[in-house]
Amino acid sequence: MKYDIVIIGAGISGTAIANALARYERSVLVIEKSNDVSNGASKANSGIVHAGYDAEPGTMMAKFNISGKSLYPELCTRLDVPYRKTGSLLLAFSDKEMQTLEELKKRGDINGVQGLQILDAPDVLDREAHINPDVKAALYAPDAGIVSPYELCIALMENAMDNGVSLWLESPVKNIRRSRRNYLIETSGKSVESSCIINCAGVYADTVHNMLLPQMFTIRPRRGEYFLLDKYAAGQVGHILFQCPSAQGKGILVAPTVHANVIVGPNAEEISDPDATETSARGLKEVWETALKSIPDLPYNQVITTFSGVRAEPSSGDFIIRDYPEMPGYIDVAGIKSPGLTAAPAIAGHVVEMLETQTGKMQQRSAFRERRRELPHFHQLSHEARRELVKKDPRFGRIICRCESVTEGEIVDAIHRNAGAKTLDGVKRRTRCGGGRCQGGFCGPRIIEILSRELDIPREKVRKDNAGSGILFETAAEEVYHGTV
Amino acid sequence: MEQYDVICIGGGPAGLAAALSARENGAGRVCIIERDMELGGILQQCIHKGFGLQIFGEDLSGPEYAQRFINEVRNSDIEVKTDTMVLEITPQKTVYTLNPQQGYNILQAKALILSMGCRERTRGALAIPGSRPAGVLTAGAAQRLVNIEGCRIGRKIVILGSGDIGLIMARRMSLEGAKVLAVAEIMPFSSGLTRNIVQCLEDFQIPLLLQHTVSEIRGRNRLESLIISKVDDKLQTIPGTEKEYICDTLLLSVGLLPEIELPFASGITLDKRSRGPRVNESMETSIPGIFACGNVAHVHDLVDYVTEESRKAGRSAACYVRGELKPAAAINIVAGEGIAYVLPQEIRPANCREFFELFFRVAKVYTNAGVNVFINDKKIKSYHKKHMAPGEMEKLKIKPEMLIAAESIKLEIEQISC
């Protein structure tokens, strides 16, 4: 099997690049080790489109943050992904932090961030009633925004596939060899040949790099833990609220989500295992207590879930986006830590240019489908549109997820799209089914039923997430019948 | 737009009893809306016995108990819409419904009865640290999978929380051939009924670990093990007491919360203590003509009490439709020291002809305690109780004459030294 370009990793970088490449007459394959796209750091982060004042001027982080941010409104409209410009407030509680605001404002001005303003305390409290009254000032960035990171990834991949890009899931890369003209990529199942490789392997990007090149950088896994609060807490916060950054990162934020929840986190903890997405009592305590500095009355009884994500922290301190003369066709897109989500659409454009520099101008596909097939957002439809939709397809008349009002029709649709849902968590990320306050208590059994029916697999084969995460066991009688005991 | 006298939202024990009672008390067109495929609510998955001792003087299973009411409804002219979800209600009692066959419909009622029941607290709400594998589910979801869908959910099981569903599921899973290693309870007492502790744990030699909780969940894909730790008086885990339990399933029975989506969205006042809508002596919420009963109002321990309460709500709704329920001055009822919540939260003496019952739960276990009733801050009565526990709902009769000139009522628990 041969493709022109193989992208390793279906996180935000990989899917954004796949989507950008889908416009050209090139055969593209995305290889992902997990069983779904967006199943690493891209699903477990703050979901912020950053204004761009954090990064040192001149870094790639600064450059792609600014250019990436400006692509968001159009991109999210095109792909029907929830995105909202909320503005952000960076809060200062001491004179020293006031100074930080000044420095960051200056840095933002140099980076080209528009509209940055330092607000005094009354002005801050006027905008956010629940903020700690000890606040001294805040750096206001009007064009910071929020996005659903996993929905964006899924949409990028789906739209890429609608335009001919292929996706292999559950295919961890075992080895890469270079033959005279091509690369041979061996995954756990099958092998594939290609003339270009784009390494978007996230926390494993150094491992992939080292398969072909001498070690030039390392990726350290850095874990961040989060709380997600019920929609009943939505009134607590309207802007993204940052605290002053430290060496460990941008600090703990409290922010609304595009689905009207409130997100709180992350801390930053160096860990050794890139897959260690556990939460810890100590870490969660740290996050919550720090967040109380921003919003003292943050309601703990509205917590609906906790989770953690492992970010890829590059040894270089900046994004590693580069090619190598000795390895033509190979590009690293590594160490894409924050603001990686914001930067991704711009990085994708940059990678296309890098490829064109190497392999010559690529021809645009004549029939590129800009938009995804329309998503049935039942919840958002008018009375009349709801009535029509149910008449056409009765499955839209059955609510499966009570917390988020998701219909059976939406779930079935999410399963059968390109890059569709195959697991409970996959359904959750695409439809919000099970992502509400009951966390799948009511809808779980019914989604198992729907997945089993639509994928034509027995219920015991329906999984929560990756291999080994089955929910149901065979009954004792079935075990005897199948000889599994 | 279809017009009704009374619409009950939810066709479990509360909705069934409320609808029947509304119809018997003269309401004209009555309808029950149920989101599941059949009536009966959570009773349909409660295949154990223990229902109906108060109402029928018989020991029935959940489906048997429900069926008696379903039969009565079927023999009446009450309309039933199953597989129908209510998406929204308005203070004007307009109800937006969704059903696969009948589609999207808007109904209008003169009175509404909220009878949606409750939901379970989850792992997420407890913020238990660790991984997020398959095999961690609420006891109620497990009960549905096992008893209705006929699934096998695990082989080696730990249960966190000794609420009644947790206890019942400990026995159920044992009968299904699974090994239940332990039931861990963070409090120094179980919130379940004593009879369930005896019949579901002791009879099956399942250890009940009081003052213990799950402090870590392990296993990236399927649950592999749990760490259970002892907790101190402040419910904080005590370092050094960790013990690992190898298991594939964790069931959570860590509390039930009234299902308040609809009342919240329609602006009905909620009570911080009961977590349900505030109700008055007629089970009427802060919006006149909208009533609440059963577990949406407060979480009950026995379905028989749900039935009684819902009959009252149905009767009140019929009265309201006839214009006989009087808006009148209300007396606030306050949950004082030692009381977790009290219901109703207010009484309008003008609507109380006979004696009146207050329902409450205590905040902790009491032996030898007095329940003091204060009217206008003056102690007027004290009832001695040998034993009270949060798991068991308490009742108190208030006579109408006690309400004369009353402005406030407060309940308080007083520990009597022995």
Question: Of the residues B254, B272, B293, which one is the last residue of a structural domain?
Answer: B254
**CB < 8 Å to B35, chain A:** 399, 402
One-letter identity of residue A398: R
Between chains, do A232 and B215 touch, taking CB under 8 Å as contact?
Answer: no
Between chains, do A441 and B141 touch, taking CB under 8 Å as contact?
Answer: yes
**Is B249 found in the same domain as B184?**
yes
0.80 surpassed by pTM? yes
How far A56 CA lies from chain B's nearest CA (Å)?
A: 35
Ranges of CATH 1.10.10 domains, chain A? 378-461
List the single residue in B137, B216, B218 with the smallest CB-CB distance to A444.
B137
List the single residue in A305, A402, A474 with the smallest CB-CB distance to B152.
A474
Burial B237-255 (b: 16+ CB within 10 A, else e): beeeeeeebebbbbbbbbb
Between chains, do B129 and A279 touch, taking CB under 8 Å as contact?
Answer: yes
Question: What pLDDT is recorded for position A435?
Answer: 85
**Is B264 found in the same domain as B250?**
no
B389: domain CATH number is 2.60.40
Question: What pLDDT is recorded for position A365?
Answer: 92
Helices (H), A163-249: 205-212
Contact B36, B82 (CB under 8 A): yes
The CATH classification number of A378-461 equals 1.10.10
Question: What pLDDT is recorded for position A485?
Answer: 63
**Is B49 found in the same domain as B27?**
yes
Between chains, do B152 and A470 touch, taking CB under 8 Å as contact?
Answer: no
Burial B351-383 (b: 16+ CB within 10 A, else e): bbeeebebbbbbbebbeebbbbbbbeeeeeeee
**Is B4 found in the same domain as B36?**
yes
Coil, helix or strand for B114? strand
Between chains, do B100 and A397 touch, taking CB under 8 Å as contact?
Answer: yes
Alpha-carbon distance of B119 to A47, in angstroms, equals: 29
What rounded mean pLDDT belongs to chain B?
94
**Is B235 found in the same domain as B313?**
no
Question: What pLDDT is recorded for position A478?
Answer: 79
E-strand spans in B84-223? 85-89, 94-99, 103-114, 118-120, 136-138, 156-160, 179-185, 208-210, 212-218
Contact B335, B355 (CB under 8 A): no
**CB < 8 Å to B96, chain A:** 383
**Is B185 found in the same domain as B147?**
yes
Alpha-carbon distance of B294 to B286, in angstroms, equals: 17
**Is B266 found in the same domain as B240?**
no
**Is B246 found in the same domain as B197?**
yes
CATH architecture of A85-145+220-312: 2-Layer Sandwich (3.30)
**CB < 8 Å to A475, chain B:** 150-152
Question: What pLDDT is recorded for position A249?
Answer: 63
Interface-testing mutation among B33, B221, B262, with chain A (most A C-beta atoms within 10 A): B221
Between chains, do B35 and A399 touch, taking CB under 8 Å as contact?
Answer: yes
Identify the segments of chain A with pLDDT beneath 50: none
B289-332 pLDDT tens trace: 999 999 999 999 899 999 999 999 999 999 999 999 988 889 99
One-letter identity of residue B324: E
B91-113 pLDDT tens trace: 999 999 999 999 999 999 999 99
Q: Which residue of chain A comes nearest to B131, CA vs CA? A: A278
Which positions of A are annotated as active-site residues? 50
Residue B125 confidence class, pLDDT cut points 50, 70, 90: confident
Question: What pLDDT is recorded for position A479?
Answer: 79
Interface-testing mutation among A438, A448, A449, A451, with chain B (most B C-beta atoms within 10 A): A438
CATH architecture of A1-84+146-218+315-373: 3-Layer(bba) Sandwich (3.50)
Question: Of the residues B264, B294, B325, which one is the last residue of a structural domain?
Answer: B325
**Is B404 found in the same domain as B336?**
yes
List the single residue in B100, B154, B215 with the smallest CB-CB distance to A395.
B100
B217: domain CATH number is 3.50.50.60
Q: Which residue of chain B comes nearest to A397, CA vs CA? A: B100
**CB < 8 Å to B220, chain A:** 275, 277, 466, 468
In percent, how much of chain B has pLDDT > 90?
86
pLDDT at B418 over 70: no
Question: What pLDDT is recorded for position A374?
Answer: 87
Tell me which residue of A161, A10, A72, A82 sits closest to A375, measured CA to CA.
A82
**CB < 8 Å to B135, chain A:** 471
Q: How many domains does chain B have?
A: 3
**Is B412 found in the same domain as B401?**
yes
B200-235 pLDDT tens trace: 999 999 999 999 999 999 999 999 999 999 999 999
Alpha-carbon distance of B80 to B84, in angstroms, equals: 10
Tell me which residue of B163, B205, B203, B211 sits closest to B182, measured CA to CA.
B205
Q: Which residue of chain A comes nearest to B249, CA vs CA? A: A471
Domain that holds residue B349: 328-418
Alpha-carbon distance of B361 to B343, in angstroms, equals: 9
**Is B34 found in the same domain as B180?**
no
Question: Of the residues B295, B325, B355, which one is the last residue of a structural domain?
Answer: B325
Between chains, do A471 and B135 touch, taking CB under 8 Å as contact?
Answer: yes
How far A302 CA lies from chain B's nearest CA (Å)?
A: 7
